[in-house]
Amino acid sequence: MNYIRESDKMEKRNARQTREIVVPGDILDGTGMRPGENAYVLDGKVRACVMGVRNVFQNTVGVIPLRGCYMPTSGDTVIGVIEDIGPSNWLVDISAPYPAPLHVSEVPWKVEFGDTSRYLTLGDVVLLKVLAVDESKKISVTMKDSGLRKIEGGRLVKVSHSKVSRVIGKSGSMISMLKNMTDCRITVGQNGLIWVDGDDENADVAVDAIKMIEEQAQSSNLTDRIKEFIESKIPQDEEYDDEGDE
């Protein structure tokens, strides 16, 4: 019975998040909820600071700005963080203005009803694929595809989703260079979350290089700049240098 109540609460919370667009000054709540991000209190009511999607979590209400948000598209590979757990699904934060429920039917394990926390718990990082986004902005995601998994170890880097193409590079040239020169495993999500795993010092360089790509995305000769930066931090053998110049 408790499972049903938890599921109902989760579904109601998700429904609110997927539909309600607000503009600055709109009332988000008048029942005593606390103001969250991009919200303020005036005359006893919580109001929106920016245009975006009304976002409720527990006893807090805020706004996820629409401007610059990652908008999921079918087929996108994304990295997300588990932020809520229900008896038959998990709610995943994929940096979109609305939540991404991951149902037990879309994971590679046989999960009994109410046993979800044994497999994925709050804060876990997962690599997902967006299956579909319907007219009401409800997202369907899956872990049942090649390479999709729970991500363990390493570190997460957040960049603007609009800069992801620069991090990947033409035909994957930039990301291949980053991996080869830093000897790190790197997975890029279309939502701007990037996973980096490797030796601590090398991973630090990889993270700095990724941030440099984001900051200098409009610069010319960016590949050469990044290559020189990494070479200044990590000695490269001649064999790689020769390959990199081709």
Residue with the bigger pLDDT between 7 and 107: it is 107
Q: Does residue 217 belong to any structural domain of this protein?
A: yes
Structure tokens at 63: 């706004």
| Pairwise CA distance, residues 28 & 157, whole Å | 31
**Which phi and psi (to 5°) does residue 23 adopt?**
-120, 165
In a domain, 72, yes or no: no
Residue-level length of the chain: 246
Q: What is the amino acid identity at position 70?
A: Y
Q: Is residue 132 part of a domain?
A: yes
Rg of the Cα atoms in the chain: 21
In a domain, 71, yes or no: no
Specify whether 176 is located in the same domain as 235. yes
Select from 115, 133, 151 the last residue of a domain: 151
Domain of residue 240: give its range.
155-245
129 near 94, Cβ under 8 Å? no
pLDDT for res 239: 52
Q: 39 and 88 in one domain?
A: no
Rounded CA gap, 72 and 94, in Å?
9
Whether residues 162 and 241 fall in one domain: yes
Task: Find where tokens 């390959």 sit.
Answer: 243
* Mean pLDDT for the chain overall: 88
**In this structure, are residues 95 and 69 in contact, taking their beta carbons and an 8 Å threshold?**
yes
Mean pLDDT value across residues 35-53: 90
Q: Which residue has the higher pLDDT, 129 or 51?
A: 129
Q: What is the pLDDT of residue 238?
A: 63
Residues 175 and 241 in one domain: yes
CATH number at residue 176: 3.30.1370.10
The verdict on residue 70 lying in a domain is no
Give the number of domains in the chain: 3
- The pTM is what? 0.73
Segment 17-40 shows an average pLDDT of 86
User: Residue 18: its pLDDT value, please?
Assistant: 47
Cα-Cα-Cα-Cα torsion 218, 182, 80, 35, nearest 10 degrees, comes to -60
pLDDT of 66 strictly over 80? no
User: CB-based contacts of 162: which residues, under 8 Å, 6+ apart?
Assistant: 68
Which range (63-67, 98-102, 191-195) has the least confidence? Answer: 63-67
Residues 190-238 pLDDT 10s: 999 999 999 999 999 999 999 999 999 988 899 999 999 999 999 987 6
pLDDT 10s digits, 118-169: 999 999 999 999 999 987 778 999 999 999 999 999 999 999 999 999 999 9
Structural domain ending residue among the three candidates 91, 123, 151: 151
Of 9-13, 81-85, 137-141, where does the model show the most confidence?
Answer: 81-85
146 shares its domain with 162: no
Question: Do residues 10 and 49 share a domain?
Answer: yes
